[in-house]
């Protein structure tokens, strides 16, 4: 049996589903998540626990959540680049 290969360029490597959900809820909120991915665990009495249970059993929904998480990471990276670029500073 071989060990799993390292995935240094995979932003999902080592990120738990619970961490993804928590960060997504902090960033977007349940309502926006339910609008982007129309599943009941985001729209009807949402919670991390019920969402985890559903997403672990439903591969298509988990893929959508992973896609939303990657989108959020790209959005945060863009904002960080804009905030640290000389063009964005008021002195520039």
Inform me whether the pLDDT recorded for 87 exceeds 90: no
What is the domain count for the chain? 1
Residue 6 lies in a domain: no
Does the predicted TM-score (pTM) go above 0.75?
A: yes
pLDDT digits (tens, 9 = 90+) for 31-43: 999 999 999 999 9
pLDDT digits (tens, 9 = 90+) for 6-60: 666 777 788 899 999 999 999 999 999 999 999 999 999 999 999 999 999 999 9
Residue 8 lies in a domain: no
Question: Residue 62 belongs to a domain with what CATH number?
Answer: 1.10.720.30
Q: Which residue has the higher pLDDT, 53 or 1?
A: 53
- Full residue range of the structural domain in which residue 48 is found: 26-80
Radius of gyration of the CA atoms of the chain, in A: 16
Residue 3 lies in a domain: no
Residue 56 lies in a domain: yes
Residue 18 lies in a domain: no
């Amino acid at each position: 049996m071989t060990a799993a290969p390292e995935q240094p360029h995979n932003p999902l490597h080592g990120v738990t589903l619970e961490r993804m959900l928590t960060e997504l809820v902090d960033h977007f909120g349940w309502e926006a998540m339910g609008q982007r991915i129309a599943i009941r665990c985001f729209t009807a009495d949402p919670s991390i626990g019920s969402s985890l249970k559903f997403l672990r059993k439903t591969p298509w929904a988990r893929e959508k959540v992973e896609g939303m998480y990657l989108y959020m990471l790209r959005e945060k990276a863009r904002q960080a680049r804009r905030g640290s670029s000389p063009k964005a500073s008021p002195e520039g």
